[in-house]
Amino acid sequence: MAKFAIHDFKGVIPALVTPFDLDGSLNEGLLRGITASLVARGVDGLYLTGSTGEGFMMSPEERMRAVETVCAEVAGRIPVMVHVGAISTYQTVALARQAEAAGADAISSVPPIYWPFTPDQVANYYADVTASTSLPMVVYKIALAGEIGFELLARLAAMPGIEGVKYTAPTHFEIGRIKTEIGPDFRVFSGADEMAMSGLAFGADGLIGSFYNIIPELYADIVAAMAEDRIADAKALQDKANAIIFFTLKQYPMSAVKRIMAWQGADAGYCRKPFDNYETPEAEAALKDAYRAFRDAHGLAEIGFLPDL
């Protein structure tokens, strides 16, 4: 039975990475370790097996094992939301039911991908999946998985059990429209890390994203600054976060995030192919040198970014 309700999801929620070994094997030990580390660092929740978690690179059975591992490690200390999206309703329902059995507090899903499904088919998908558990559903709006326009989102929001949206798009004016026209109780989670300040300004209830795996404290400071109407402080913090994001995007991004987590004391393993990895000690050493120079050039050690690198 879920311990947390949908309104308990707020603040900084990492879209958790999934650790793999270089041979592609899921490493459950490392997964427990990064979960424990992020809980200790004070994150407000976790979002599992989404884009950042390489969910679509995993078999259904592996996704279930990952969810069970994280939920067991969290042990009810913070809310857990599980991305259960798949092409078929059948598979998504199975993932949703397992997430509930494992102890998740909410589920989330992209719309069914690959084929050009009609709005009615998308709506039926969400209705069937949401009805399969007692957990609240958070729709995942991201262009990579197909567009969910405002009209379709409003239609979905009227369905029982659909209680929020993970909004990964730059059109943040629409967050305000969601809060006004759909209603203030419909939860909105800003999913663009480089626009967290903007998402909060337009009414987002929380943040879900990749870089909260490595700089959650910086984003917690942004959340606090926005709550206290310290706009200049929030912008300065967002600028520092964006410098880290833009530099990382020039690397092998997800592999770099996982190596940074290792340097911070919580090894997150590697990515699955066809993603690239820093596979040799020489490659990782060169990456570390690049981050050390970047950190020093931007004065980021003072905010706690890789101070001991």
Catalytic residues: 140, 166
Map 151-209 to HEC letters. HHHHHHHCCCCEEEEEEECCCCHHHHHHHHHHCCCCEEEECCHHHHHHHHHCCCCEEEE
Q: With beta carbons less than 8 A apart as the criterion, state whether 144 and 51 touch.
A: yes
CA 138 to centroid of chain Cα atoms: 12
Helix ranges restricted to H, the chain? 28-40, 60-74, 89-102, 119-131, 150-157, 173-177, 196-201, 216-227, 231-249, 253-263, 281-297
Which residue do the tokens 């197909």 mark? Answer: 146
